[in-house]
Chain A
Amino acid sequence: MSIRHAMLALLQEQPRHGYQLRQEFETRTGGTWPLNIGQAYTTLQRLQRDGLVEPVPDAEGEPERFRLTAAGREQAGSWWSTPVERGAPARDELAIKLALAVTLPGVDVDAVVRTQRTETMRSLQDYARLKRRIPADVAGADLAWSLVLDSLVFQAEAEMRWLDHVEGRVLAQRRSPRPPDDAATAHPTPSSSATEDAPAGTTRHRKARR
């Protein structure tokens, strides 16, 4: 994601200067994705170049504030009405590691799963400790940050479930190394499904790289 949309969205609220934009972004996301001040100003300059924001005529000596132009308001509005594209999966080191672990000889898959599960559980415990410090009935910026935290929690939980799933499937495969005959024929051949998926998949890849 580019930071442009977030900045346009924050400018919908009121005109702001670069430092305020950075501060608001970080407050509402709990500092999860730190933004350096240089990025904030560079983005503002590009938005101005593209005619989406303009400087507010302020008193001499005040830091320069920016507001949305008509085109900027339109872009900010269309961000809310457009879903975030899942796009091509980001390169996931854990998925790659497990994919290689189950195919390379001599790798202790159980140990790889266990080690990762411990680490992911630790992250979840860290998140849970943060959650305990946020009252259940918060609003405003605290609610925003709390929801960002929830997003991290659900992602980590999904990883835990996937690790359990890997463990279960590897175990099942070990207990019956040869798949039953009818199961083998029921599998769609990888080549046919790849062909079906290819056009949609390639488009998405391109979009994600923009």
Chain B
Amino acid sequence: MSALTTRPSSPGASASGAEAVPVLLRLDRVTRVHGTGAGEVRALDDVSLEVGPGELVAVMGPSGSGKSTLLNLAGCLDTATDGTVVVGGVDVASLDARGRAALRRRHVGFVFQDFNLVPALTAAENVSLPRELDGVPVRTARAEATAALAAVGLDDLADRFPDDMSGGQRQRVAIARAIVGPRRLLLADEPTGALDSVTGEAVMRVLRERVDAGAAGLLVTHDARHAAWADRTVFLKDGRLVDTTGRRAEPADLLDDGDDTDAPR
């Protein structure tokens, strides 16, 4: 199983500071077991995966196949029973709970199906909140939030409250929050699940743009048409990685950004 697909580094896609961290997320033969004895469940079984800057990887699979476990491990919310999880160059197993929380705040942003914005805060406040909790001065945090909102095309709506925004706009705020400040590992759990098809596609465009600008994305989705926006799609089944679909490596890919297809095959 060649899950450890290393993409040739794309110099054009690097964002500020991204060069220092060649791989933002690496899972090396990771197993996560819940329970013991007869009740033992292998939620994740010997899974290897890498996501670097400028790379979006989609995860598909039926319910209970290990998608959530994978996201939780990548987000330092859970620890592996076996194998190695490296986030932002740091082995998660080497850290205690506090250390994991710090690592998560520094590198990881989450995007959920139901947005998870704080209703009493404006878009800008929602985006700057995690940075303020990090102890970053409020002025700096606000400036970072403004930049992140501009990156998702929402600078005009910075002072709006979530209830006064559409679902698509709320999800873009959530994406801004996920990449605010130095955060570059974007973990998205069914980000288009609550959106209609047109809005969902618009959100995928924003997600893709942010990844192209240097973030690393791990996207869990049931929608194959959205998974197709990723560079690779991995399929999980019973905790095992059963298949990886990536782009075909063509000689032309080495010469330009690869968007050289003129007609559907």
Contacts and interface: CB of A to CB of B under 8 A. Distances in A.
Given A117-B235, A127-B264, A122 B259 contact: no
Given A125-B228, A127-B228, A132 B202 contact: no
A24 interface: no
B225 A123 contact: no
A121 B93 CA distance: 34
Nearest to B244: A118
Contact of A136 (B62, B205, B225, B248): B205
B224 A124 contact: yes
Given A128-B228, A136-B202, A121 B263 contact: no
Interface stretch (A97-105, A148-156, A177-185): A148-156
Contacts of A114: 235, 242-243
Interface size class of A (residues with CB under 8 A): 20 to 34
Given A118-B245, A129-B259, A136-B201, A123 B264 contact: yes
A168 B243 CA distance: 16
A122 B243 CA distance: 12
B233 interface: yes
Given A127-B228, A136-B205, A118 B264 contact: no
A160 interface: yes
Nearest to B237: A167
Contacts of A130: 261, 264
Contacts of B258: 129
B112 to A, nearest CB: 22
B264 A126 contact: yes
Q: Is the interface of A mostly helix, strand, loop or mixed?
A: helix
A157 B201 contact: no
Contacts of B227: 121, 124
A30 B263 contact: yes
Given A132-B229, A133-B259, A136-B205, A164 B62 contact: yes
A118 B243 contact: yes
Given A114-B242, A121-B233, A122-B245, A154 B259 contact: no
Contacts of A20: none
Interface string B227-265: 111000101010000110101100000000011010111
What range describes how many residues of B lie at the interface? 20 to 34
A132 B208 contact: yes
Contacts of A167: 62, 237
A34 B228 CA distance: 25
Given A122-B248, A123-B264, A128 B225 contact: yes
Nearest to B242: A114
A31 interface: yes
B19 interface: no
A156 B259 contact: no
Contacts of A173: none
Nearest to A133: B259
Interface string A27-45: 0001110000000000000
A161 interface: yes
Contacts of A168: 62
B134 interface: no
A129 B208 contact: no
B247 A125 contact: yes
B173 to A, nearest CB: 18
Nearest to A119: B245
Residue among A128, A157, A164 facing the most chain B CB atoms (10 A cut-off):
A128
A153 B225 contact: yes
**Residue in B224, B233, B245, B263 with the greatest tally of chain A CB atoms within 10 Å:** B224
9 contacts: A121-B227, A122-B248, A123-B264, A124-B224, A124-B227, A125-B245, A126-B265, A153-B228, A156-B225
Interface of A: 30-32, 114, 117-118, 120-133, 136, 149, 152-154, 156-157, 160-161, 164, 167-168
**10 closest Cβ pairs, A-B complex:** A124-B228, A128-B228, A160-B224, A121-B245, A157-B225, A157-B224, A125-B228, A128-B229, A153-B225, A118-B245
